[in-house]
Amino acid sequence: MKAPLNWLREYVDIALSPKELAKRLTMSGTEVKGIETIGGWENIVVGQVVAIEPHPHAARLKLATIDLRGECLRSVCGASNLEMGQKVAFARIGAPLIDPQSGEPVRLERAKIRGIASEGMICSERELGISDRHEGIMVLPPDAPLGVPLNDYLGDAIFDLDITPNRPDCLSIIGIAREVAALTGKSVCLPETRYDEPGELIERKVSVEIADPDLCPRYCASLITDVKVAPSPPWMEQRLLACGMRPINNIVDVTNYVMLEYGQPLHAFDYERLAPKRIIVRRAGDESITTLDGVERMLQSDMLVIADGEGPVAIAGVMGGSGSEVTEETTSVLIESANFNSVSIRRTAARLKLRSEASLRFEKGISPELTMLALKRATQLMAELSGGKIARGIIDVYSGKKEAKPIALSTKQVERILGIKIGLEKMMKVLCSLGFDCQTVSTEELSIAIPYWRTDVRLAEDLVEEIARIIGYDELPITLPSGALPQYEADPMRAIRERASDILAGCGIQEVITYSLISLEVSRKVVLNSGLTPLKIANPITTEQEYLRTTLRPGLLEALSANEKHEEGSIRLFEVGKVYLPREGNLPEERQMLAGVLSGPRLDRSWHGEGEVLDFFDVKGVLETLFERLGVEASFEPVNDELFNPGRVARIMLWGEELGIIGELHPRMAEGFDISRPVYLFEINLEKLLPTTIAPRKYRPIPRFPATLRDIALVMDGEVAAKRVQDIIQSFPLVAKVALFDVYTGEQVPQGKKSLAFRILYQSPSRTLTDEEVNKEQERILERLHRELGAALRA
Amino acid sequence: MIEKLDEIKSNAIDELSSLQSIKELEDWRVRYLGKKSALTQILRGLASRPLEERKAVGASANELKSLLERSHRQKKEALKEKAYQEMEAAAVGKQIISPTGIPSEEKFGIPTVFLGIPDVTLPGRPIPLGRLHPTTQMVREICDIFVALGFQVVEGPEVEWDYYNFEALNIPPDHPARDMWATLWIDTKSGERPMLLRTHTSPMQIRVMERTTPPVRVVVPGKVYRYEATDATHESMFYQIEGLAVDKNITLADLKGTLYEFARRLFGAERKVRFRCDYFPFVEPGVEMAIDCMVCGGTGCRLCSGTGWIEILGAGMVHPAVLRRVNYDPEIYTGFAFGLGLERMSMLRYGVEDIRLFYSNDLRFLRQF
C-alpha cells in the first residue's frame, strides 16, 4: 500500500518529518518499507502566464510573460498548449532539471533563443521528473498559489507500507491517517459528503435483490445520469499514479480513488448496458463472463456474481464484466458499494487466479458499515467531476446487521500479558486515540466498544496489543521467566545424531545437507525395484524437486559429482538426515539416516609421497571407528546388491538386524551421476543404533595380571572368511584380544590357499598365566580351527 | 685374592678411559661386571670360604663392584653427552639431512629419530579434515544458548497435517494470512486429510502442548519448506528454530528478556535490540525483533535497506485460541513463542550474501566454517 504524505494531511495534521513518522508507524506495526520523495525542486516556482506575444524570428515560438507574484519574467516557449492565465511551473536560471531528450540531470542556463533572451523556462512534467509527458507544458490547477516554490506546493513523500493481513482497514489512506493520529496525539477529520439529488428516484430506475445474504451482507448503489466521461483532473491522476494505479477516466478513477481513500472497493456499471434494470446478487450457474481484462472465465456454482436480468455482469468483489464497462459513450453510471463474504471472495479469486485490488481487500474482511460512507463519497466526487445528475436516494440492502459486543478489559489483564502495570486512564487515552469507545466499569476495568473499521479486534488480548503497540514495545520492561523448569526429557535420537556427526567429522569427512526433495529420475537411479512409491508434491516448484527422498544416496552422489569438477584431492562427504517413507493414511515415517560417499586418494598429494587411492577398507575403517566409539559391535557380511560393484559390498549387521550397507558403487551407477572415479558409499539406519544411547556403559577393571602375546600364521582355503577365523579364536576363554596382522597369498602357500597371521593376547582377570596354560589353550584353538575351517599352522 | 682384585681394578680403570663408544662400553661392562666376569666369580665363590677371608675379601670385592658400576655410569653419561654435542655441532653447521639418511644409532648411541635436520618449513603430513555443515553448527550454537536459559530441545515431523501447520495455529482454511506461507502440498487422494511440508516449525507448538502439561519451555530446530522461487535471499528449503514457553505468569517482558539475551549471546553484547509490533495469527500481541545493523551500526546501508535495523525473528504471546486448542486455560496460563530463520543468522554472522550456497554443498564454501 502506497500512501502519499500530502494525501494523509487531508485527514490529519502531520508535524513530524517523514522519517520520524515512518519510524513510529513501523514500530507500531505498520511497516514502512521505503519512502519515495517526489520533488526536491530548487528554483522552480508557481507562476501565471500574463502575456503571450509572437516571437519576432520564429513562427512556432512564443514569448510568454510569467507573473511570479510581483516579479514578471519573460520566457521563450514552444509549447502548443500555452494559454493566457495558466498556472505553470516556472524554472529560474540555475534550476536543476531533467533533460527531456537524454533523461540526464541538467542545470538551466541563461540562453538566447533565436535572438531573444529567455529569463527562465516553463517546464513539462518530464523536465520536472514527474512523468514522461513532454507534449506540452505542465498546467497547474487554477488555485495553485502564485510565487510559492513548486516543492512546497507539489513536493511529496510517498510511504510504501507493508500492511499485515489482519488490518484491511489500513489498506486505505484514512485507515493510515487514523494510525498516524493515534501515534501523534492528533485527531482524524473525514471528508464531508453532502450533495444534491436532483435526479429521479433511484428505486424507479433500478432494483437490487440479494439471493444469498450469507455471501453478501450488504449491497448499496447510487445512480448518476447525464455524466460526461473525460480524463480526471491532474490532482486525482497524480494521486492514483502515486499509489500505483493507472488513471482511466473520471468515472473509473473515482471508484479507485475512493477505494484507496476508504478501503472500500467500488464498481461502476454503465447503467444503459444493464439489461432489465435490475441487479441480482447470486451464486453463479453454469455460465461464463468476460471480465474487464478481456478474458472469458468459466464460473462455478460457489462463486458469487452480480447479475442483471440476462446474466452475470461482474464477479462479485473480484472484477467487473466487460459487457457493462464504462466507456466514453457512457451517460449513466450505477455505482456499487457492497460487502461480500471474505472466504467466498478469497476462494473465487484463487480459483480464477484473478487477484484484484478489490478481492485483496474483501478477502481480509472489511466492515459492512463502510459501504454507505464510501458510496456517498464516490457519488459526490463522480457527480462533481463528470457533471452528472445524482438520482434521488440510495439503494441499501442490508440484512443481518451485526453489532459488535463491547469487550471488558481490566488493568490486571493488561499487566498479566505485558508484565507492567498500566493505569486505567492511560489505557483509555490510548484506546480512545484509536477510535475505541471506552466506558469505565470500575476503577480497574473498562468496557470497550469496537469501532466498525476494526474488524480484527475481538478479544481482550487484541486490545492489550493495541495498548502496547501505541505506547511502544520498547517501553516495556525486560525480564526473564521466573517459574520452575519443566521436567527434563532426553532426546536420544538427537544425541546419537550429534555424536555420529562429530565422530565422522573427526574421521575427516565433511558434513553436507542436501535437499529433501528430489526428482523421480534421480530417485530411480539409486533405488532399484523397491516397489516403494515416494511421496509426491502436488504443486512442485520444479520437477527437480518433486518427490520426497527415500534414501540419502542421490543427494550425496550429486554433491560429490558437482564437487569433483573443481576438487583435485579426495572428496569425503556425509549427511545425517531424514528419509520419508510413505504410510497408508498417515504421515510418512521420517527415518533418521546416516550416509556417506568417499572418493579419491587416501591422502592428498604432498612431498610425503603420492597417496594411494581410497579403498573399501578405508571406508570400513571409518565405520568401525564409529561403531567402536558408539560402543557397538556391528559385523559386515558379503551381500549381493546391483547398485554396487559385485563382491565389493557388505551389509552391516547389528544384533541380528540389518543396520546398513557399505560398498563400492557399480561403475554404471557412478556414471549415472557423472562420476568417473571409484566411489565408496555407506548408508546406515540411525534408529537401529538408538539402544546404544539408552544402555548405560559399564566400567570394566583394568587387567591386573600380565598378558602373554603369541603370533600364529595359519594356512587355509582362500574362501574362508577372516571373520570366521577371528571369531573362533576370540571365543576361547583365555583370549583377551586377537588381531589379524597379515594376509598372504602367493608362492609361499599352495595354489588356492591363503595365509592369515594373528597376534593373540592371552590374559586372565584372576591370575598370571603359565606358559603351559597358554600352550594348551593355543593347541585347543588350533585343533578347532583345523576341524572347522581346515586351517593349519603355517610351516 | 686381594691382589687379584687390585689387578682387575687397575685393568678395568685403564681400559675404561680409552673407550670411545657405547658399544665398547657395553663390552667392557660384560667383561668386568657381567655374570662370567672374574669379579662376579670371586663374589660367588666367597660362600665356601672361611669366615675371616669372607669378611676381608667380601668387603673389598663389593667395594670394587660399586666402584666399577659408578665408573660405568659416569662413562656412559660422558659418552652420551659427547654424542649430543656432536649432534648439536652438526646442527649448528646447518647440515640438512634427509629424514631417511641419518647417522647410525650405533655411532652415537642416540635413537636415530633424534638425528638429522629436516627443513621445518616443509608442510606436515596431510590429515583429511572433516567439518560440520555451517547450519549444523548454527543449530547447535543457538540451541545451546536456549538450553542455558532453561529450554529443552525437541524435534518434530517435516511432513505435517494441515491441522498442525495452520488450523490449530489459528489459521483456518481460506484465511488470508495463509498467503504468508506459500505451501508445498503432498499429493494425496481426494477426500484424504490435507498433508503438506511444514512451512514453519510452529506446528510443534501444538504437538508439544498436546503431550505435556505446563510449564513448557522448548526450542525446536528443523527443516521447513516453502513454495518459493529461489534467489539470493529465498530458498525452498531452510531451517528454523521455534521457541515456546508456557506457564503461569509468562509475560511479554519475559519474551523481551529471553530474546534480548539470545541476541546478545549470538551477535555480541554490544548489539542493540528493537522490538516492534507485527502480526502472526497464532500470537497476540505479535512481535518482531531486530538488531542494529552490524555493517553500518545503525546509520543505514545496503544490508539493512537503509533502516539501520535487521529483522531477525518473529514472536509474540501465544494466542488464547491456540492455548484453548490444546486445552490450556488461557485464564490460567500465558506463554510466548518465537521463530527464527537459521540461515539468516549465519548469513549475518559470516556475511554470506546468497542463501543458495548453504545447500548446494560446494566444498569451497563448506570448508570456510
Chain segment A101-112, per-residue pLDDT in tens? 888 999 999 888
Q: For residue A767, what is its C-alpha cell? A: 591370575
Q: Residues of A numbered 455-474 whose beta carbons fall under 8 angstroms of chain B's beta carbons: which are they?
A: 459, 461-462, 464-465, 468-469, 473-474
Looking at chain B, which residue has its C-alpha nearest residue A347? B174
Identify all chain A residues contacting B253, using CB atoms and an 8 Å cutoff: 418-420, 476-479
CB A419 within 8 A of CB B252: yes
Q: Inform me whether the C-beta atom of residue A698 falls under 8 Å from chain B C-beta atoms.
A: no
Q: How far apart are CA B343 and CA A200, in angstroms?
A: 66
CB burial readout A303-324, b (16+ within 10 A) else e: bbbbbbeeebbbbbbbbbbbbb
Q: How far apart are CA A671 and CA A769, in angstroms?
A: 57
Tell me, yes or no, whether A562 and A676 share the same domain.
yes
Tell me, yes or no, whether A178 and A213 share the same domain.
no
Identify all chain A residues contacting B195, using CB atoms and an 8 Å cutoff: 587
DSSP assignment string, A207-234: EEEES-TTT-SEEEEEEEES----PPPH
The CATH number covering residue A215 comes to: 3.50.40.10
Tell me, yes or no, whether A234 and A352 share the same domain.
yes
Closest Cα to residue A361, out of A382, A338, A332, A383? A338
Contact A491 B252 (CB under 8 A): no
Q: What is the pLDDT of residues A288-326, one digit of tens each?
A: 999 999 999 999 998 999 999 899 999 999 999 999 999
Tell me, yes or no, whether A345 and A425 share the same domain.
no
**Is B185 considered catalytic here?**
no
Would you state the pLDDT for residue A530?
A: 67
Contact B251 A164 (CB under 8 A): no
Tell me, yes or no, whether A31 and A114 share the same domain.
no
Q: Residues of A numbered 743-782 whose beta carbons fall under 8 angstroms of chain B's beta carbons: which are they?
A: none
Query: Pick from A367, A398, A429: which residue ends a domain?
Result: A398
Mutate to test the interface with B, among A458, A479, A603 (most CBs of B within 10 A): A479
Contact A538 B186 (CB under 8 A): yes
The CATH number covering residue A175 comes to: 3.30.56.10
Higher pLDDT: A573 or B114? It is A573
CB burial of residue A283 (10 Å; 0-12, 13-18, 19+): middle
**Percentage of residues of chain B with pLDDT beyond 70:** 92
Would you state the pLDDT for residue A50?
A: 93
- Answer yes or no: is pLDDT of A123 > 90: yes
Q: For residue A271, what is its C-alpha cell? A: 447503467
- The pLDDT confidence band at residue B97, using thresholds 50, 70 and 90, is very low
Would you state the pLDDT for residue A160?
A: 96
| Mean pLDDT over the full length of chain A | 93
Q: Inform me whether the C-beta atom of residue A498 falls under 8 Å from chain B C-beta atoms.
A: yes
Closest Cα to residue B164, out of B113, B211, B131, B129? B211
Question: Beta-carbon neighbour count of residue A211 at 10 Å?
Answer: 12
**Percentage of residues of chain A with pLDDT beyond 90:** 81
Assigned domain for A483 exists: no
**Is B74 considered catalytic here?**
no
Contact A539 B185 (CB under 8 A): yes
ipTM above 0.90, yes or no: no
**Percentage of residues of chain B with pLDDT beyond 90:** 63
Q: What is the pLDDT of residues A663-710, one digit of tens each?
A: 999 999 999 999 989 999 999 999 999 887 666 778 888 989 999 999
Greatest Cα pair distance, chain B, in angstroms, is 120
- Answer yes or no: is pLDDT of A428 > 90: yes
CB A357 within 8 A of CB A319: no
C-alpha dihedral sign at A117, A123, A127, A129: positive
The CA distance from A567 to the nearest CA of chain B, in Å, is 8
Looking at chain A, which residue has its C-alpha nearest residue B239? A513
Query: Pick from A629, A660, A694: which residue ends a domain?
Result: A694
Higher pLDDT: B318 or B82? It is B318
- Answer yes or no: is pLDDT of B157 > 70: yes
**Is B181 considered catalytic here?**
yes
> Residue A790: left if φ>0, alpha if ψ -120 to 50, beta else—which one?
left
The number of distinct structural domains making up chain A is: 6
Q: How far is CA A291 from the centre of its chain?
A: 30
Q: What is the pLDDT of residues A316-356, one digit of tens each?
A: 999 999 999 999 999 999 999 999 999 999 999 999 999 99
Contact B276 A465 (CB under 8 A): no
User: Of B198, B217, B226, B325, which residue is the catalytic one?
Assistant: B226
Q: How far apart are CA A442 and CA A302, in angstroms?
A: 49
Give the 3-state DSSP-derived string for A163-182, with helices as H, strands as E and coil as C: CCCCCHHHCCHHHHHHHHHH
Domain ranges of chain B: 2-114, 136-366
**Which one of A26, A505, A559 has the shortest CB-CB distance to B130?**
A505
Tell me, yes or no, whether A651 and A781 share the same domain.
no
Would you state the pLDDT for residue B311?
A: 92
Assigned domain for A481 exists: no
- Answer yes or no: is pLDDT of B107 > 70: no
Identify all chain B residues contacting A603, using CB atoms and an 8 Å cutoff: 125-126, 128
User: A544 φ, ψ to 5°?
Assistant: -65, -25
Would you state the pLDDT for residue B113?
A: 52
- Answer yes or no: is pLDDT of A240 > 90: yes
**Is B240 considered catalytic here?**
yes
Q: What is the pLDDT of residues B312-368, one digit of tens each?
A: 999 999 999 999 999 999 999 999 999 999 999 999 999 999 999 999 999 999 999
Mutate to test the interface with B, among A169, A413, A510 (most CBs of B within 10 A): A510
Contact B187 A536 (CB under 8 A): yes
Q: Inform me whether the C-beta atom of residue A563 falls under 8 Å from chain B C-beta atoms.
A: yes
Q: How far apart are CA A472 and CA A431, in angstroms?
A: 14
Assigned domain for A167 exists: yes
- Answer yes or no: is pLDDT of B91 > 80: no
Question: HSE (CB half, 13 Å, CA atoms) of A337?
Answer: 29
Mutate to test the interface with A, among B256, B302, B324 (most CBs of A within 10 A): B256
Tell me, yes or no, whether A588 and A648 share the same domain.
yes
Q: Inform me whether the C-beta atom of residue B317 falls under 8 Å from chain A C-beta atoms.
A: yes
Tell me, yes or no, whether A388 and A412 share the same domain.
no
Assigned domain for A15 exists: yes
CB B237 within 8 A of CB B225: yes
Contact A164 B278 (CB under 8 A): yes
Query: Pick from A427, A450, A475: which residue ends a domain?
Result: A475
**Which one of A31, A480, A513 has the shortest CB-CB distance to B254?**
A480
Identify all chain A residues contacting B264, using CB atoms and an 8 Å cutoff: none
Q: Inform me whether the C-beta atom of residue B361 falls under 8 Å from chain A C-beta atoms.
A: yes
Would you state the pLDDT for residue A623?
A: 97
Alpha helices in chain B (DSSP H): 2-18, 22-33, 38-45, 51-92, 105-108, 134-148, 162-165, 203-211, 252-267, 320-325, 342-350, 357-360, 363-366
Q: Residues of A numbered 511-540 whose beta carbons fall under 8 angstroms of chain B's beta carbons: which are they?
A: 511-517, 535-540
Contact A566 B364 (CB under 8 A): yes
- Answer yes or no: is pLDDT of B3 > 70: yes
Q: Inform me whether the C-beta atom of residue B364 falls under 8 Å from chain A C-beta atoms.
A: yes
Contact A416 B334 (CB under 8 A): yes
* Local structure of residue B179 (DSSP, 8 states): G
The domain of A764 spans 708-793
Would you state the pLDDT for residue A40?
A: 82
Identify all chain B residues contacting A570, using CB atoms and an 8 Å cutoff: 128
Tell me, yes or no, whether A7 and A27 share the same domain.
yes
Q: Considering the domain B136-366, what is its CATH architecture?
A: 2-Layer Sandwich (3.30)
Would you state the pLDDT for residue B111?
A: 55
Q: Inform me whether the C-beta atom of residue B73 falls under 8 Å from chain A C-beta atoms.
A: no
Contact B128 A508 (CB under 8 A): yes
Tell me, yes or no, whether A500 and A592 share the same domain.
yes
Q: Residues of B numbered 249-268 whose beta carbons fall under 8 angstroms of chain A's beta carbons: which are they?
A: 249-254, 256-258, 260-261
**Is B349 considered catalytic here?**
no
Tell me, yes or no, whether A419 and A357 share the same domain.
no
Higher pLDDT: A693 or A366? It is A366
- The pLDDT confidence band at residue A528, using thresholds 50, 70 and 90, is low
Interacting residues of B178 by C-beta distance below 8 A, sequence separation 6+: B166, B171
Question: Beta-carbon neighbour count of residue B167 at 10 Å?
Answer: 16
- Answer yes or no: is pLDDT of B133 > 70: yes
Would you state the pLDDT for residue B93?
A: 53
Q: Residues of B numbered 157-186 whose beta carbons fall under 8 angstroms of chain A's beta carbons: which are they?
A: 157-161, 174, 176-177, 179-180, 184-186
- Give the mean model confidence (pLDDT) for residues B83-111: 56
Tell me, yes or no, whether A148 and A97 share the same domain.
yes
Contact A587 B237 (CB under 8 A): no
